[in-house]
Amino acid sequence: MINNIVAVTANYIEQDLEEYKGNPLIEALPSIWLDDISLAKRLSSRPSHSKNDLDLHPRLRLHTIARLLSGTFFHPLPSHLDLERKLSLMIRTGYIKRNPALNHDKHATQANYLAMQGHQSNANLFPTTDRSALGMTLIGCSGSGKTTAMKRVLSTYPQLIEHPDYNMLQQIPYVVVECPYDGELSSMCSNFFLAIDQIVGTDYHKRYGQQIRIGAKTQLQAMSQIALQHSVGLLVIDEIQHLNTSKSDSEELLNFFTTMTNVLGIPIFLIGTLKAKILFADGLRGARRTIGFGSMEWGISKTQNDYLNWTRFIKRLWRFQWVKASTKEPSPEIIGHLFDLSQGILDIAVKLFVIAQIRAIVSQKEELSIPLFDTVYQEEMKNVHPMLDALRSGDSAQIAKFSDLTMPKIDVETVANRMPQELSEEPEEEVSQQSYKPSDSQLELLLSLLDIDYKQHASQIGLLKEQHPDIDNKTLFKQLVTEIESNKSSYIKRESLSKQTKSNVITPSHWHKLDHDDLRYIHSQSHTESEMHANLVKNGLIASVK
């Protein structure tokens, strides 16, 4: 098979940490990110957006809106920075005990052997076969951005590095494999072989999946050796919840993951919906092997910090409007309403924003509004209403039940066929390409005086610097604090309204605390239908028929 990845030739960077020094697999990796703002700048991206777009034919302008769906819009949140730190650590620690340089220095190994024989003090312990690494899980609803976040973070690494100084060793820092829907081991291995073939141009998929018939266990052994041979730094298994459909194979595959981490030293990163939690609920061993680097719950919750991140995300997204009556920033009411509709699921929020713009153009209203978002939600998002209703209820069982519904897709052409013919308007100014400046100790000190975490607001600081390239630290400090206080006030107001409008529903578990003549209390005290009937007669609520 012809590989689709262009290999880079290893360039070795001297390491600061002693355990990383002299290991070509680590030294060939990009430098560790030390500054969150620089990392946020690297991860972020935005679609092309200019005033000339509004001069285009209406059908073409609809297609410019679709730029938001092509993966060119990405706004990093603190959770993305946290994920990058964890994956960086996983890859490097997995390589520590797989150092190819140790196998090449035979003279040093022989000298150490002789020193060990003579019990000399300068002798070092020989490396053992213990290569244990740790794994991690990432759990969240469909559309919450799990896979997008993983791919975005890993895109900071080359996928294939060649080492001419080590017999042209081919190093694959990471490989992503999607768990098959049928959950079968053979399909899982087949996907892995195909993924490796696409990176290095081998024919493993044909050799182990088509030419000969071999059992799943043999395929797993081949998979292990291939991962070791190509120095895979991280094995990512996406859609892990599909293993639920394979009863006998799921435990065997999870055992294989344990072998990969404990014996071969290859870290495993499992990604799935809430249904995947079932896989790790049975036994301590199943839980232990997935929490070495922690289990991250992915998505935006209803906490104050997360709502602040939500506000930043929507404000960034809002800048990419192609309607005539565009506004510079969304109102706090629109920000809160979009959260209520989407329940913080980024994919749904973006699609609501895109479809609303399409409808605004088609209807010639050229304006985004809460009623328009409501119409889009009711008419275009019906297939995800069960999942969103479950999220609103807070019922974990219902959430798990609907957590992997398919996200709605947008057919721009269908809307374009009904498109009217004319429009124009002044769009927002082009965003400055000024790069982020490194972390500033003076700004960090100013923020610390108000107990504001500089790192937690790195994305927002970077955005302000991007909007105002010449801003000084004192002005930046004042503007940042103003935004934080404004967002906090909006959150408190929204929570207050939410509590006022929340229905006073009493769950069955509390019916026994109600008044004794309340039907719900009577029901709670009755264990059978006949007992229920007797209690109703006793309380004079129904007549006794004799």
Q: Is residue 253 part of a domain?
A: yes
Position 9 scores a pLDDT of 96
Position 16 scores a pLDDT of 94
Domain identity same for 280 and 429: no
Of the residues 297, 320, 353, the one at which a domain ends: 297
Cα separation, 212 vs 201, whole angstroms:
20
pLDDT digits (tens, 9 = 90+) for 120-169: 666 665 555 455 567 888 988 888 889 999 999 999 999 999 999 998 99
Domain identity same for 188 and 229: yes
Position 285 scores a pLDDT of 47
Position 437 scores a pLDDT of 42
Residue 435 banded pLDDT, cuts 50, 70, 90 = very low
The neighbour count for residue 394, using CB atoms within 10 Å, is 9
Of the residues 279, 297, 315, the one at which a domain ends: 297
Count the residues in the chain: 546
Q: From edge to edge, which strands make up the β-sheet containing 268-272?
A: 175-178, 235-238, 268-272, 136-139, 295-297
Of the residues 263, 297, 331, the one at which a domain ends: 297
Question: Which whole number is the average pLDDT over 371-377?
Answer: 92
pLDDT score of 234 more than 90: yes
pLDDT score of 197 more than 90: yes
Say which residue, 450 or 52, is predicted with more confidence.
Answer: 52
Q: Are the CB atoms for 395 and 386 separated by under 8 Å?
A: no
pLDDT score of 386 more than 80: yes
Percent of the chain at pLDDT > 70 equals: 71
pLDDT score of 261 more than 80: no
Domain identity same for 317 and 219: no
pLDDT score of 529 more than 50: yes
Q: Report the mean per-residue pLDDT for the chain.
A: 78
Domain CATH number, residue 84: 3.40.50.300
Q: Is residue 281 part of a domain?
A: yes
Q: Is residue 2 part of a domain?
A: no
Could you say which DSSP state residue 269 is in?
E
Say which residue, 448 or 390, is predicted with more confidence.
Answer: 390
Position 62 scores a pLDDT of 86
Q: Specify whether the backbone of 71 is left (phi greater than 0), alpha (psi in -120 to 50) or beta.
A: left
Q: Is residue 19 part of a domain?
A: yes
Question: Which whole number is the average pLDDT over 367-392?
Answer: 89
Of the candidate ranges 32-41, 94-103, 210-219, 372-381, the one whose mean pLDDT is the lowest: 210-219
Domain identity same for 232 and 211: yes
Position 431 scores a pLDDT of 37
Say which residue, 199 or 273, is predicted with more confidence.
Answer: 199
Domain identity same for 173 and 267: yes
3-state secondary structure at position 514: coil
Position 141 scores a pLDDT of 84
Q: Is residue 123 part of a domain?
A: no
The top-scoring range by mean pLDDT among 201-215, 382-396, 506-520 is 382-396
3-state secondary structure at position 272: strand
Domain identity same for 265 and 330: no
Residue 276 banded pLDDT, cuts 50, 70, 90 = confident
DSSP letters for 145-170: SHHHHHHHHHTTS-S-EEEGGGTTEE
Domain identity same for 494 and 372: yes
**Does this model's pTM top 0.85?**
no
Dihedral of CA atoms 396, 400, 404, 406 in degrees, nearest 10, equals -60
Cα separation, 287 vs 295, whole angstroms:
10
Question: Which whole number is the average pLDDT over 348-355?
Answer: 93
Question: Which whole number is the average pLDDT over 438-443?
Answer: 58
3-state secondary structure at position 249: helix
Say which residue, 224 or 488, is predicted with more confidence.
Answer: 224
Position 419 scores a pLDDT of 39
pLDDT score of 173 more than 90: yes
Could you say which DSSP state residue 510 is in?
G
How many structural domains are present in the chain? 3
Q: Is residue 104 part of a domain?
A: no
pLDDT score of 30 more than 60: yes
Domain identity same for 247 and 355: no
Say which residue, 29 or 475, is predicted with more confidence.
Answer: 29
Position 161 scores a pLDDT of 96
Say which residue, 250 or 8, is predicted with more confidence.
Answer: 8
3-state secondary structure at position 482: helix
Range of the domain at 516: 508-538
Q: Give me the residue label for tokens 């291939």.
A: 226
Domain identity same for 317 and 456: yes
The helix or strand, by DSSP H or E, that contains position 203, with its residue range, turns out to be: none
Q: Is residue 333 part of a domain?
A: yes
Domain identity same for 473 and 516: no
DSSP letters for 337-364: HHHHHHTT-HHHHHHHHHHHHHHHHHTT
Domain identity same for 327 and 455: yes
Tokens of 86: 């964890």
Position 249 scores a pLDDT of 59
Position 448 scores a pLDDT of 64
Q: Strands 136-139 and 295-297: what pairing? A: parallel
Position 286 scores a pLDDT of 47
Domain identity same for 21 and 44: no
Q: Is residue 446 part of a domain?
A: no
Position 243 scores a pLDDT of 73
Say which residue, 493 or 425, is predicted with more confidence.
Answer: 493
